Amino acid sequence: YTVIPPSGTFRELKKNLNHIIDDLNCGILHLLPINPTPTVYARMGRYGSAYASLDFTAIDPALAEFDRKATPLDQFLELVDAVHRKNAKIFLDIATNHTGWAAKIHETHPEWLVRENDGTIHSPGAWGVIWGDLTELNHQRMDLWEYIADMFLVWCSRGVDGFRCDAGYMIPEKAWEFITAKVRQQYPSAIFLLV
């Protein structure tokens, strides 16, 4: 069951859980990245890339309804609770290899960005295509591993059961061993899918 942008809100999705889980017999609801992404600066294409995260633990407010009693995080948690009440799991898609331009990490940890010899921030790519709307993170740095593990712990504490780690194959195996071990100390059933 797939929804292509514009995909609506968490509450609209929650209304479809009977169909997704009961009628289609899906046991996992897998969401594309739900983080804020560029809206103007370095936004590529009509909708931009959901994989150009500006903040790995924040939620894009466009995915929530305006409600004075419920923040975007509250509305995400409503969805998580509804999925779990149906004995299903919720997975998030998170691209831990890179961020979008002007991401929070650019301000807080510019040393984590891969740079070219001239100081230009490096954009990752694959199969001969450069993803110009993304900035690559330097996963040789163990302090970045710690940050990424803590980010996954935040999502686990919010009830997320598993993660599809986009471009996970670009991150060193030792980094994944560290990250998953730290997360599984607190959440032993957390699932990581590296693609």
Does pTM top 0.85 for this prediction?
A: yes
pLDDT in tens, 17-74: 999 999 999 999 999 999 999 886 777 766 678 899 999 999 999 999 999 999 999 9
- What is the edge-to-edge ordering of all strands in the sheet holding 191-194? 28-31, 89-94, 162-165, 191-194
Q: Which residues of the chain have pLDDT under 50?
A: 1, 4-5
Q: How far is CA 27 from CA 20, 21, 30, 131, 152, in A?
A: 9, 6, 10, 32, 21
| Main-chain phi, psi angles of 89, to 5 degrees | -115, 160
